[in-house]
């Protein structure tokens, strides 16, 4: 755990030398049968300011660059539209004998954008894997 924490700090220092890390939160990964890895987070757009991001999660985030961005505040309709705008949305339906995903947690995370974006005024980005 300490080595992983140090690696995160080293990466931040190398990629964003001006950044200040206030801490890191580590939680156990939830593994479920038929689960899909998704990402919800905030970014700071240079023109519009804090924005909500949804897309492919896990290690595929960097490879596929599949994400949708929306400005807060979001409601259920806007979140559903944002999710449909990603390639990973096709994987959320029924396929390969796996049941469809409801995305309740992902939608709740996106709709909780007000507090995330308020926090992102102090930090450039944050990510949650619901």
Per-residue pLDDT of 2-46, as tens digits, reads 888 888 899 999 998 998 888 887 777 778 888 888 888 888 888
Which of the four pLDDT bands, split at 50, 70 and 90, describes residue 126?
Answer: low
Pick the CATH number of 35-128 from 3.60.10.10, 2.30.140.10, 3.40.228.10, 3.30.470.20: 3.30.470.20
d(CA 121, CA 49): 8
Predicted TM-score of the model (pTM):
0.73
Which of the four pLDDT bands, split at 50, 70 and 90, describes residue 114?
Answer: low
The residues, any chain, with a CB within 8 Å of residue 116's CB and separated by 6 or more, are 41, 42, 50, 52, 72, 126
Q: What is the DSSP string of 60-91?
A: HHHHH--EEEEPSS--HHHHHHHHHTSTTHHH
Count the residues in the chain: 130
Q: Does the pLDDT of residue 68 top 90, yes or no?
A: yes
Domain boundaries, the chain: 35-128
- Of the candidates 105, 125, 103, the residue with the CA atom closest to the CA atom of residue 116: 125
């Amino acid at each position: 755990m300490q080595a992983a924490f140090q690696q995160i700090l080293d990466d931040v220092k190398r990629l964003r030398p001006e950044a200040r890390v206030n801490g890191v939160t580590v939680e156990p990964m939830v593994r479920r049968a038929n689960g899909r890895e998704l990402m919800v987070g905030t970014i700071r757009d240079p023109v519009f300011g804090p924005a909500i991001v949804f897309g492919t999660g896990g290690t595929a985030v960097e490879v596929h660059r599949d994400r949708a961005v929306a400005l807060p505040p979001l409601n259920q309709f806007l979140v559903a539209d944002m999710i449909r705008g990603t390639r990973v949305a096709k994987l959320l339906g029924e396929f390969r004998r796996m049941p469809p995903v409801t995305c309740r947690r992902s939608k709740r995370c996106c709709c909780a954008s007000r507090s995330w974006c308020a926090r992102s005024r102090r930090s450039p980005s944050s990510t949650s894997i619901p």
